[in-house]
Amino acid sequence: MKGIQEKLGKDKLQVVLLSVDCGYGMDPKRAMEADLKSMTKQGVQHWTNVVLPNGMKDTARMFNLDGYGLTLVDPDGIVRGIDIYGGEVEALLSKGARK
């Protein structure tokens, strides 16, 4: 995702990381620190990090997502892909097609 965002630019693709570590017993502050450390190590910039206090339970309740994976949502809020791989993002963005 880092490479795709760099190629397309942050004005065309915004990445939001949903951190579920709290659902496995990690306190929120420690989860944020661990996520920031990981993103810094990977050289990721401009990603929004959302710490979900109840982990995967929150992804199901708030976003109707049932697992780890990449979900692509366009600026109009239309879901363009669920459980997709990084290589599929550009094609879905250019076609506007749903998977």
Q: What is the pLDDT of residue 97?
A: 44
Residues 34-72: tens digit of each pLDDT: 888 988 998 887 788 888 999 999 988 888 888 788 888
Confidence of residue 98 (pLDDT cuts 50, 70, 90): very low
CA distances from 65 to 23, 55, 58 (A): 15, 11, 9
% of the chain with per-residue pLDDT over 70: 95
CA distances from 54 to 12, 21, 51, 92, 97 (A): 30, 9, 9, 31, 32
% of the chain with per-residue pLDDT over 90: 4
Q: Is the pLDDT of residue 99 over 50?
A: no
Residue type, 83: D
